[in-house]
Each structure stands twice: as structure tokens, then as C-alpha cells.
Amino acid sequence: MDLMQRPRRLRGNDVLRKMVRELRLDKSSLVYPMFVREGSNIREEIPSMPGQYRYSVDRMEEKLSELLDAGVQSVMLFGIPDEKDELGSGAYAQDGIAQKALRKAKQICPKMYLIGDVCMCEYTSHGHCGVLCGHEVDNDRTLELLAKTALSQAQAGADMVAPSDMMDGRVAFIRRALDAEGYANIPIMSYAVKFASSFYGPFRDAAGSAPSFGNRKSYQMDYHNRREALKEALSDVKEGADIIMVKPALAYGDLIREITDQINVPVAAYSVSGEYAMVKAAARVGFLDEEAVMCEMAAGAYRAGCGVYISYFARELAECMDQGMIG
């Protein structure tokens, strides 16, 4: 048969397939989300996220060293306090759990790049992401506390702050607060495109951050909306965001691509707890090849356009990159 074009010619063997691969990945783009809690000598497994743990500050080093050994150089820290109140004061306390974890991590693993999650849901007694006025989150009153949280994390050693609350105007508020105190070089990675997703369930178990009433649909986005996602991303870039995040990753590749095409800052994708838990559960009963699916999910997010991939599989993905299974 007289065929001038035979795409299969470039699929003949593994060497050739890798030679012409369009997507090249690097371990430096991986970020591992890590839970740190009050107490001592604690390493407790999270029931809904097999293989993931909450660490006390004195047990952080074993995980951080494991990540560095695999080539993962960045972590995002989530603090889990023992005590909570209506104003989430533990989020911005100088001796808060996140601040203690940042100081310790900077001391024991100075090569690790530390990202502080800036939110209040883990710290408020009601589990919402800001100050309440009745049963509604008061956007503007919350901004000052978010700025205090970001500043306290920078003072404790955070290399980057990542506001995840979805309050309007918080990027600009945080940027001004950081700049005013001499932290103009601390980047902001904004959870700009964060949907009210059912994929977050295991995280709320891990962090103890489920709302005590209602839900977060009045501030997290409706997953039906595309143009709203673009509006949020463009707005946060205008306010000073250095990186824009799309969360979750798995079901939102279209928006990763569109936002990457529309904005002039790097785009991150967060492969969230529910994505991790689904893969683990299906693999446990033999329905999926965990390693292969993990790699395919990551490649899909990168192919869509993200340059930063936040994943509970970060260490395993780094090892797969070394083995040539991905990247």
C-alpha cells in the first residue's frame, strides 16, 4: 500500500518512542503536601489515604530526608493544631504548628523549598475558611487574618506562601503585607482556580477541617464554570500572584490548558486527596496498576500545561522518572 505518512514508524521501540516524546518532565517540578501536627514522636497513618501520615515536628526529618533522597525538593506544609477557635488564631500565631514546622524544616533540611498553605479551615472551630458573620464567611474581615498568617509563615522560614481560602482580594492584601515587612521576594502561589469539589474528602479527614455546618460553595467555585475560572486566574495575576493553581487536577485538564494559554505566569495543578485515595483503593483490590495510573495522571496534567505538580505521589513519581517510566 502506498502510504506516505505512517505515524507508527515512530513507535517501533522504546528508544525511538522516548526520542520523539513531546513531554519532558523534571523532578524539580514536584511538590509534596505534608501534614504536621502538634505532639511528639507521632507518625500516624491517615485512614482514608493509605501510605500518608501526620507527623509531629520532631518526626518530620525522616520524611523530608526521604523526599530529598528521591529528588523531591519542595514541600507544602499543612498544620494541624490541637486547639481551635472562631478566629482561627492558631493560623497566624508565632508559635503555631505551621510556624514551628517551618522553623524546624528550615533548620534540619535547609535544601528543602518550603511552601506554607495559607488558610484558616484547619484552625477555626467551625471549619470554614474565614471569620463568620452569622452563618456566612465575612470576606473582608478575613483578609487581614490571611495576611497575618502569610506574614507569620514568611517570618518562620517559608520560601513561598499559597493562599487556599478563595476570599476575594486576598492576593493583593497578602502581597502588600509581605512587601511592607521586607518580604517582597516571597512568591505567592494562589489557589486561584479552586472548585467546590467532592475530591477533597480524604484531606478533610487528614486535616480535621470539615465544616461543622453547610459547605464551601459560597466561596469555592462551581465546577460547571469555565469563564469564571479564567476570571479568577486573571484577577489573581493582576493582584500579584506569581503562580496560579488549578485544583483538583484530574477532572480539570481543560482548564489547566486554557489558563496556561491565557496567563503569563506558571500554572500549578494539585492532584488532590481524593485522586490519590481512588487510585490506592482500586489498586488494593487489583482493579488498577497503581504505578501506571499514577504516571498517566501526572502526564495528563503536565500535557495540559501545568509546570508545577502537587501530589501525594511525589516521591513515587520521582522514582518513576529515574526509571524512565514517565518523563
- Enumerate the active-site residues: 194, 247
Nearest to 232, CA basis, from 263, 187, 257? 263
For β-strands 49-56 and 132-133, DSSP reports them as unpaired
Query: Contact, 122 vs 159, CB < 8 A?
Result: no
Kindly calculate the radius of gyration of the chain based on its CA atoms and give it in whole angstroms: 20
Nearest to 89, CA basis, from 152, 36, 172? 152
Can you tell me the distance from the alpha carbon of 122 to that of 99, in angstroms, rounded to the nearest whole number?
A: 14
> What are the backbone dihedrals phi and psi of residue 147, each rounded to the nearest 5 degrees, phi first?
-65, -40
Can you tell me the distance from the alpha carbon of 317 to that of 323, in angstroms, rounded to the nearest whole number?
A: 10
Percent of the chain as helix, strand, coil, to the nearest 5:
45, 20, 35
Residue 38 one-letter amino acid: E
Task: Give the residue carrying C-alpha cell 477557635.
Answer: 85
Identify the H or E element spanning 271: strand 267-271
Contacts of 60 (CB under 8 A, 6+ apart): 34, 36, 101, 104, 105, 108
- In three-state secondary structure terms, 210 is coil
Nearest to 195, CA basis, from 269, 142, 130? 269
Distances (CA, A) of 282 to 108, 201, 290, 292, 319: 36, 17, 8, 12, 21
Nearest to 232, CA basis, from 210, 215, 252? 252
